[in-house]
Amino acid sequence: MKKKAIFLIFISILLVMLPVIASAHPGKTDANGGHYCRTNCAKWGLKDGEYHYHNGGGSSTEKEREDKNKSTTTPANTTLLLPKKQTVGTLQVYYFDVGQGDSTLIRTPKDQYILIDGGNNNQGKNVVKYLESLGVKTLDVMIATHPDADHVGGLDDVLKAVDVKSVYAPKVSHTTDTYIDFLTAVKKEGRTIKSVTKGVTIPLNGVEAKFLAPVNTYGDDLNNWSAVLKVTYKNNSFLFAADAELQSENDMLLDKSSLKADVLKVGHHGSTSSTSKSFIDAVKPKYAIISVGKNNYGHPNSGILTRLKNVKSTTYRTDQKGTITAISDGTKITFTSTKESK
């Protein structure tokens, strides 16, 4: 009798829960805590396939999540610590401090400028200030590595502020307001987007810049669509991994890409979703840069920091060093930053 009673209770609970289960729209969350709506999207106020986050029984789009989390991410600074402009004739890489996001400026020895990403929406004006302080009036190249807001959010501000000759991005679309703002700004400036896949090169004077990824197509997995760029100047090389995750890293390894680089911009802010042992063993970086700010994701992960230490890589973090500048004369790389580490 006791077993029968327990069984009846279980059946009763199941019947109560069935409507709730039927109305849910399951989907594995990614490393950012979000996913794409699969079923019953209208019930949640979403479009089919829209990227969103669950928020205590409700659901929010990426844009709404950004607005809510502004207090938990590094805010836009009112007084910026500006990097010092280096002497022309060297390769300079400025890893801007944009909080929890990515934005990097490359200045070639021939005075050409490449901007990779622009941080979150609330960092766009800061990126413009960084560029102005470095005397940048024209960008030869702008790269939007993938549609995530912490990478493309500030690019519309940059497009409005400086002349941009060419724009590169992987051929993946997104429906967020942030990404649409970027596309609208590109169109308004009379530019078209050049598609990024492995093997595409950027024409520069005296410097080789080649995309190593995306190697394949990745459906709605935006991070693995990341445009991964390798820049080589004489004997020195820099690898910019954006948010490429393990699948993209494995594809680059299988593709036998030349991954070895002196400096690695660590993938996905030091998340466990990236920087596999096989990948880091192939890159063998002497230096690693992590672009990161205050966040709720546990970035950078302690295991990733240990992995970098194990390959004897010196690691610099923007949350500790501020904007980090790497200067290469083609043989030797030196670093400077806008604040001391904590």
pTM of the model: 0.80
Q: Are 242 and 168 in contact (CB under 8 A)?
A: no
Q: What is the pLDDT of residues 252-289, one digit of tens each?
A: 999 998 999 999 999 999 999 999 999 999 999 999 99
Kindly tell me the burial class for residue 11, based on how many C-beta atoms sit within 10 Å of its own C-beta (0-12, 13-18, 19 or more). exposed
- Which pLDDT belongs to residue 3? 58
Q: Are 243 and 223 in contact (CB under 8 A)?
A: yes
Least confidently predicted of 7-21, 49-63, 172-186, 287-301? 49-63
pLDDT-derived band at 300, boundaries 50, 70, 90: very high
Higher pLDDT, 49 or 277: 277
Average pLDDT over residues 66-91: 69
Q: How far apart are CA 321 and CA 198, in angstroms?
A: 32
Q: What is the pLDDT of residues 167-221, one digit of tens each?
A: 999 999 899 999 999 999 999 999 999 999 999 999 999 999 999 999 999 999 9
- Measured in degrees and rounded to the nearest 5, phi and psi for residue 156 equal -65, -35
- Which pLDDT belongs to residue 257? 87
- Which pLDDT belongs to residue 79? 83
pLDDT-derived band at 91, boundaries 50, 70, 90: very high
Average pLDDT over residues 14-24: 44
Peptide bond into 300 cis (omega under 30): yes
Domains of the chain by start residue, with CATH:
91-337 (3.60.15.10)
